[in-house]
Amino acid sequence: MALSKAAYPTAANIVDNTSAATFIPELWSDEVIAAYKKNLILANMVKKISMTGKKGDTLHIPKPTRGTATAKAANTLVTIQNDTESEVTVVVDKHFEYSRMIEDITGVQALASLRQFYTGDAGYALGKQVDDDLFSLGKKFGNGDGSAFATNAAFYNDASTGTTAYAVDTVAAADVFTDAFFRDMVQKMDDADVPMDGRYMAIPPALRNVIMGIDRYVSSDFVNGQGVVNGKIGELYGIDIFVSPNCPVIEAAGHEGGAGSGTAGLAVRGALLAHKDTMVLAEQQGIRSQTQYKQEYLGTLYTADRLYGTQVLRPESGFLLAVNG
């Protein structure tokens, strides 16, 4: 059956000799993967499970509860602990693609170096989407059901009362991040028995600016003389700190409402304080690049795509910090 013309891109969506670059399929795939990995921030910090080559769209992850030690008296039987194992279900339902149509004339006339723009753009777009999906899981931290960021695991620093449960229209311009607030949040992780190893915090760029203005945070212990690697800018109290422009906007600037920052012209964004096992990324198909020649356009259609699923694995180990920015 012939495809209708509507199935193909409009003229405005075709890369012609004024807007594109030459294309080499063998290099395209490698460059897309490299750009994708470079732009992943949050996805590099969560638990990853590969489903490559496996059938099915649902992953079942056992979630055993911790047992307790029992005193053993002489000449008595051991105590058999009850099995209270549960599971977390991850549905692999996120399929995203990036496509370009490259006309033949472009392959003849365009500069080969411009190809890097499209491979980089594809990697950025696919990487950003994965991070966005993971950041949105902050709605499931604590007792969250996925509908809103205001859960019992979300907090902000009230200028008058200190660490306070977050609710919409509560964060004011004066409610800035402080060292005392961060120490309170670290204690909440300690109280929740979150393992020390593997903790991290992903912050928006505006919060980095605030942190760099706190004297103790710009010491050699924090900066350690190293450059930024995949968004990592340092370490605070044993917690790796990463900067990501993908941190979610939980209240838009100038939004309608009460005394919140949005009313004062500032957006409220969510920084995530979590552990590597807080969230899981199930990857069933990594970056795939495909090409198909379209005679009706005298050009080649190039598509990069990936298939994955995300879910919260241990909601008690993740916290959201509502900050101005």
CA dihedral 215, 220, 224, 229 (to 10 degrees): 20
Q: Which fold has domain 13-65+81-136+280-312?
A: Major capsid protein gp5 fold (3.30.2400)
pLDDT of residue 79: 86
Query: What pLDDT shows up at residue 29?
Result: 64
Q: CA 319 to CA 140: how far, in whole Å? A: 10
Q: The whole model's pTM is what? A: 0.78
> Under DSSP, is residue 44 helix (H, G, I), strand (E, B) or coil?
helix
State which H helix or E strand residue 37 sits in.
Answer: helix 25-39
Taking only the tens place, the pLDDT of each residue in 196-244 is 999 999 999 999 888 888 877 766 555 554 544 456 777 888 899 999 9
The count of other CB atoms within 10 Å of the CB of residue 162 is: 14
Q: What digits encode the pLDDT tens for the residues 251-279?
A: 987 654 444 444 456 789 999 999 999 99
Phi and psi, residue 190, nearest 5°: -60, -45
β-pair partners for 216: none
Helix (H, G, I), strand (E, B) or coil at 309: strand
Q: Which residues pair with 63 in a beta bridge?
A: 86
What integer pLDDT is reported at residue 24 of this predicted model?
43
Please state the domain extents for the chain. 13-65+81-136+280-312, 143-279+315-324
What is the pLDDT, as a whole number, of residue 114? 57
Structure tokens at 48: 């990853």
* Residues of the chain falling short of pLDDT 70: 1-31, 34-39, 84, 107-116, 218-231, 254-265
Helices (H), 76-227: 104-109, 115-135, 179-191, 205-211, 220-223
pLDDT score, position 41: 83
State the fold for domain 143-279+315-324.
Answer: capsid protein of prophage fold (3.30.1930)
On the question of a common fold for 13-65+81-136+280-312 and 143-279+315-324, the answer reads: no
pLDDT at site 202: 94
Measured CA to CA, the distance from residue 87 to residue 30 in angstroms comes to 36
pLDDT of residue 258: 41
pLDDT the model gives residue 253: 77
Q: 229 with 283: CB under 8 angstroms? A: no
Say what the pLDDT of residue 211 is. Answer: 84
Half-sphere exposure in the Cβ direction for 322 (13 Å, CA) = 35
Phi, psi of 137 (to 5 degrees): -70, -10
User: Looking at residue 28, what is its pLDDT?
Assistant: 59
Q: What is the 3-state secondary structure (H, E, C) of 54-68?
A: CCCCEEEEEECCCCC
Task: Give the per-residue pLDDT at 22.
Answer: 41
CA dihedral 146, 147, 152, 154 (to 10 degrees): 90
Cβ distance 50 to 283 under 8 Å?
yes
User: How far is Cα 273 from Cα 177, in angstroms, rounded to an integer?
Assistant: 14
Convert 278-314 to b/e letters by CB count within 10 Å (16 or more is b).
bbbbbbbeebebeeeeeeebebbbbebbbbbbbbbbb
What does the pLDDT read at residue 148? 93
Backbone angles phi, psi at 182, to 5 degrees: -65, -40
